[in-house]
Amino acid sequence: MANKRELHKQEPFYKQAKKEGYRARSAYKLLDIQKRFNIFKRAFYILDLGSAPGSWLQVAKKFAEENLEKYKDQFYYRDHYKIIGIDIKKVSPIENISTIKADLTTLEIQDQIDSYFRAKLDLILSDASIKKIGNKFTDHIRQLNLCYNILGIVKNNLKYKGNVVIKAFQGSDFEKFAKEMKSIFRFLKSYKPKASKKKSNEIYLIGLQKK
Residue 20 in any domain: the answer is: no
Residue 7 in any domain: the answer is: no
Residue 14 in any domain: the answer is: no
Predicted pLDDT of residue 1: 38
Predicted TM-score (pTM) of this structure? 0.91
* CATH code, domain carrying 180: 3.40.50.150
Predicted pLDDT of residue 10: 57
Residue 133 in any domain: the answer is: yes
Question: What is the C-alpha separation between 27 and 146, in angstroms, rounded?
Answer: 21
Residue 9 in any domain: the answer is: no
> Hey, which residues are catalytic here?
167
3-state secondary structure string across the chain: CCCHHHHHHHCHHHHHHHHHCCCCCCHHHHHHHHHHHCCCCCCCEEEEECCCCCHHHHHHHHHHHHHHHHCCCCCCCCCCCEEEEEECCCCCCCCCCEEEECCCCCCHHHHHHHHHHCCCEEEEEECCCCCCCCCHHHHHHHHHHHHHHHHHHHHHHEEEEEEEEEEEECCCCHHHHHHHHHCCEEEEEEECCCCCCCCCCEEEEEEEEEC
Q: What is the pLDDT along the chain (211 residues), one digit of tens a residue?
A: 344 555 455 565 556 655 566 777 889 999 999 999 999 999 999 999 999 999 999 999 999 999 999 998 878 889 999 999 999 999 999 999 999 999 999 989 999 999 999 999 999 999 999 999 989 999 999 999 999 999 999 999 999 999 999 999 999 999 999 999 999 999 999 999 988 888 889 999 999 999 9
Q: What is the domain count for the chain?
A: 1
Name the residue range of residue 70's domain. Answer: 27-210
Predicted pLDDT of residue 117: 96
Residue 54 in any domain: the answer is: yes
Residue 112 in any domain: the answer is: yes
Residue 150 in any domain: the answer is: yes
